[in-house]
Amino acid sequence: MTNSVSENPAPEPTLNPVHDIVDVKTTDCCIVGGGPAGAVLALLLARQGIPVMLLEAHKDFDRDFRGDTIHPSVMEIMEELGLSDRLLQLPHTKIRQLQIQTAQDSVTLADFSHLKTNYPYITMLPQVKFLEFIIQEAQKYPNFQLFMGANVQELIVEDGLIQGVCYRGGGGWHEIRAKLTVGADGRHSKLRQLGEFESIETSPPMDVLWFRLPRKPEDAEGGMGRISQGHILVMLDRGEEWQIAYVIPKDGYQKLRAAGLEELKKSVVEVVPELGDRISNLHDWSQVAFLSVESSRVKRWYRQGLLLIGDAAHVMSPVGGVGINYAIQDAVVTANAISKPLKNQNLSIQDLAKVQRQRELPTRIIQGFQTLIQKQIFARILTSDQTFQPPAFLRLPILRDFPARFIGLGVFPVHVNI
């Protein structure tokens, strides 16, 4: 067992003064965070007849998510659950290739059509639709409960054991007592903060601007990266729209804001001239989402009675669009590890450690890959005045399928074993 999953005691989390509690509920597993990791874990446990409560801080799922890429690895998990066919009935697009285009050349970064899978593509599906689909499946089981607008504020700690959470919502303070609490509440995890988990940075920060522009029927399909001197722009096919990620130098956002929206629009058209006939659709900064990403992971993912998964345990860079997929794989491994112990009423900290043992290495590998891309490619493009040349290995048939396998299928396969 590595040091990161050692049994050395962590600092004791503190519990704020008790408030007037409106009600107290009990369950076997309380999941905080209704994103992909939390929703899929709740469904998997509900299917096993395990009482599970899912808490989501927002009052609905209707938010402008950026994590809309479902990779073949997750589609295979959906197939194992018997859900893939119905999931693909929702409006979506398929990305079969990712291409990089520079001023001088074009090269295929990843060709998913060669993968040995029933889903040789990236599924572009709005995350809100994916979450609603998973929640509807979970609601078919009477042992599943969903609480929206549940803003978790405190951990319940007794005799060194985390016994659940206190949350605000629905007219006051509520208490949920649980044999296990799972933090799946994203990159700004409240449970990570409350549990005093120690994080380590894994890659340099990067800033990304997200916005959407109309896509015309005659436009190219799929996903593509456009690179010019000092600029990186990624376009993802969403049917009638392009979802665009514009990478800018760290701390360059305020300078760009000060220069004005017209300067941003001019810069975008310089990188992708064919967007010039629709850039006028970008007419207000409210249409532009700013994301400052600092990739990291916690040293230890668990405490007595508490486990972190997904971005709560490891914040991913946008490179490769792998975040949602690794979060869902975390959920599957967690369900495999804890379902039987929860049913038998003998869940131990060793069961939680098992989750980290299985998921830490893939996380380290993909974060290492993201760091390499950011340092060796992104940083050079953004700071150098030299023309970028795509890596030579992308032109070698024996090596060019590797990025597709690595991004699309992940480091190790994950299967539902319950």
Give the pLDDT band (50/70/90) at residue 278. Answer: very high
Tokens of 167: 């949350």
144-148/52-56 β-pairing: parallel
**Residues 47, 34: Cα–Cα separation, whole Å:** 17
Amino acid, res. 409:
L
Percent of the chain with pLDDT over 70: 90
pTM of the model: 0.90
Give the pLDDT confidence score for residue 346 in this predicted structure: 96
Write the single-letter amino acid at 328. I
Query: Which residue did the predictor score with more confidence, 8 or 272?
Result: 272
CATH code for the structural domain at 3-93+125-202+295-382: 3.50.50.60
Q: Where in the chain is the domain with CATH 3.50.50.60?
A: 3-93+125-202+295-382
Query: What per-residue confidence (pLDDT) applies to 182?
Result: 98
Tokens at residue 26, please?
A: 């009990």
pLDDT band (50, 70, 90) for residue 1? very low
Q: Tell me the DSSP string of 160-204.
A: TEEEEEEEE-SSSEEEEEEEEEEE---TT-HHHHHTT--EEE-S-
- How far apart CA 187 and CA 216 sit, in angstroms, is 34
What is the rounded distance in angstroms from the CA atom of residue 272 to the CA atom of residue 276?
Answer: 8
Three-state SS for 411? coil
Quickly state the pLDDT bin for 398 (edges 50, 70, 90): low
Q: Cα dist. 186→44, 145, 170, 249 in Å?
A: 19, 20, 22, 24
Q: Please tell me the distance from the alpha carbon of residue 34 to that of residue 14, in angstroms, as a whole number.
A: 24
Identify the band that residue 222 occupies on the pLDDT scale cut at 50, 70 and 90. confident
SS3 208: strand
Q: Reduce the secondary structure of 60-116 to three states and give it as a string.
A: CCCCCCCCCEECHHHHHHHHHCCCHHHHCCCCCEEECEEEEECCCCEEEEEEHHHCC
Q: Is the pLDDT of residue 14 over 50?
A: no
- Could you give the CA distance from residue 291 to residue 232 in angstroms, rounded to a whole number? 15
CB 72 within 8 A of CB 121: yes
**What's the whole-number mean pLDDT along residues 408-415?**
93
- State the Rg of the chain over Cα: 22
Q: 298-340: per-residue pLDDT in tens?
A: 999 999 999 999 999 999 988 888 999 999 999 999 999 999 9
Dihedral over alpha carbons 149, 27, 179, 146 (to 10 degrees): -30
Condensed to tens digits (0 to 9), the pLDDT of residues 336-388 reads 999 999 999 999 999 999 999 999 999 999 999 888 888 777 777 777 666 66
pLDDT of residue 4: 37
pLDDT at residue 8 greater than cutoff 50 = no
Strands 173-183 and 21-32: parallel
